[in-house]
Structure 1
């Protein structure tokens, strides 16, 4: 059932992506020069790697921050147009392609980069249990905790991910989607 729900959301999401992309292209040309899409390897279900797609929101030179560092909420690499994309969550829209391909589910633990997975798995007991399910575009940790910018945040979010793993079902997924939608409309922290 979950896969059918994912596809039922990914198909209309792909239509929205087709409608929004020309506007993002124009914004990118004027205020965010460089590639339109950002591609990054992430770890998915069964610890398999896949390439996640997003609209690019950061400068491509990466000059202000060491490579591989956690992205901060007010990261200096984020362009003004990228900030708009992030605030509206439009930067995440290309992930409907990942959902259609089966890399992502709509709801599940957010996928991390292999480097962070290795670091966190060494430090946090049972971290890799989060890879028992397909990762998601949104999840219980995102609606309850928000952004994770360091190891301590990752530990806090992991507790919510374990709760999700124990209690996942269609009704819980629907509740998470509603809370995600509400926080997208009202802004972070107000939809909880």
Structure 2
């Protein structure tokens, strides 16, 4: 296939096909995962006080903020009593939280974000405003597309909390060491967006989880 045809395919998929794929795949996946979602919801509510969901403002496409949903895996107001970066030994994480974070089940409510149009199934993971501001120039390209639930950086850093355990100053380590590597992987994804690559990344994510 010529580079001109590839470019045309890229534009069509990025602007239209990707959204169709997101809606169809999310609807099917949501129905399949519904029993797990119900069980986890009951487990969270019975095991600790607080809301079912953790809602946090993240930065989306074109630097637009949106509310990201997760199953609550930490104590209430955890973001007010500790650092923005979480490690595996963080005492704010609940017992249920340790399990759902390790298996990435805490990310399932982001299927709602996909249906709303805030996110895509596959794309760079959304960051908080604080870190986007620090790497603003880099994020001009990263946020030219919708953030996603998974991508190659999410797979590569699926054990990020364990990685962060080795650093005393976790926020500085995240900004100076981890985030630059993630941004490189985000850019690699953006440069190679296609239906086939998105489908492969979803399958790879399911496999590693």
Q: Gaps spanning 5+ residues in structure 2: where? A: 1-16, 165-173
Task: Extract structure 1 runs of 4+ deviating beyond 2 A.
Answer: 12-22, 61-66, 125-128, 144-149
Provide the residue aligned with 2:107 in structure 1.
92
2:142 to 130, 134, 145: 130
SS at match of 1:111: coil
Please, what is the CA RMSD of the aligned residues? 2.0
Structure 1 residue runs of 5 or longer lacking an equivalent are 185-192
Listed as ranges, the matches of 1:55-66 within 5 Å are 55-62=71-78, 65-66=81-82
2:64 and 2:80 map into 1 onto residues whose CA distance is 31
Q: Corresponding residue for 1:181?
A: 206
Corresponding residue for residue 12 of structure 1: 28
Residues 150-177 of structure 1, C-alpha deviations (whole Å, 9 max, x = no match) = 1110001111111111111111111211
State the Cα deviation string for residues 84-141 of structure 1 (Å, max 9, x = none). Answer: 11122221111111001111101000001112211232xxx52321000010000111
Aligned-partner Cα distance in 2 for 1:63–1:69 = 7
Number of aligned residue pairs: 180
The residue that corresponds to 2:54 in the other structure is: 38
Give the equivalent residue in structure 1 for 2:3.
none
CA distance in 1, matches of 2:201, 2:56: 25
Could you tell me which residue of structure 1 aligns to residue 184 of structure 2? 159
| CA distance in 2: counterparts of 1:87 and 1:21, whole angstroms | 16
- What's the TM-score, normalizing by structure 2? 0.79
